Amino acid sequence: MNELVDEILETCKQDLQKVYSHQQNEYLVIRAGRANPHILDKVMVEYYGMPTPIVQMATVTVSEARILNISVWDASQIKNVEKAISMADIGITPTNDGKTIRLVFPMLTEERRKEIVKNVKKICEDTKIAMRNARRDALDMLKDLKKDGELSEDEFAVAEKEVQKIIDKYTDLADQESASKEAEVMKV
């Protein structure tokens, strides 16, 4: 196949991988009734004037299935970390014993589980939309090559099928990821 076509296909694969990775990262921060340190990934603490992720200033451990312990290295920052967690609106109120901060994950109600599943499905749908946009971009570039005479009708058809194959593969991965997360959330 044409060098330019290979380049377009590779760019499409890279874009799809980024979208799929983003979906996986979004699913990491969704809590499913048990302690998950990734829920704190997006929480930033004002640390000497700089927004700093909690993992860069504390040790986060899972002590029991539903309890996260946060041991802040700089004891003077415990209040700031506690405040940042409270303001992050993750649905859990932190408790502080002076040395560590504890997050106790409550059991999820059936209603809350269904809300979380809706969010999981929305993330999957957003992922698929981004994937369709990547497909459109790749096809537009291929059409430009065909219009410029650098690609024959047959070469265009083969390249178009290849793009669709790549899209189908990543769409299936996104669906599997979504189904897996839904099962995890609905598991009591």
pLDDT digits (tens, 9 = 90+) for 106-151: 777 888 888 889 999 999 999 999 999 999 999 999 999 889 888 8
Residue 33: pLDDT over 70? no
Given a contact cutoff of 8 angstroms between Cβ atoms, the answer to whether 160 and 139 are in contact is: yes
Per-residue CA distances from 123 to 28, 43, 101, 108, 182 (Å): 12, 20, 30, 20, 12
CA atoms within 13 A on the CB side of 31: 24
Segment 149-170 shows an average pLDDT of 92
| Rounded distance between C-alpha atoms, residue 36 and residue 42, angstroms | 13
Taking the model in full, what pTM does it have? 0.74
Average pLDDT, the chain: 88
Given a contact cutoff of 8 angstroms between Cβ atoms, the answer to whether 32 and 22 are in contact is: no
Residue 4: pLDDT over 90? no
- Lowest mean pLDDT across 31-35, 167-171, 178-182: 31-35
Segment 149-166 shows an average pLDDT of 91
DSSP code of 107?
A: P
| Rounded distance between C-alpha atoms, residue 38 and residue 109, angstroms | 21
User: Which residue has tokens 């999820």?
Assistant: 108
Domains of the chain: 3-29+109-186 (1.10.132.20), 37-104 (3.30.1360.40)
pLDDT band per the 50, 70, 90 thresholds, residue 7: very high
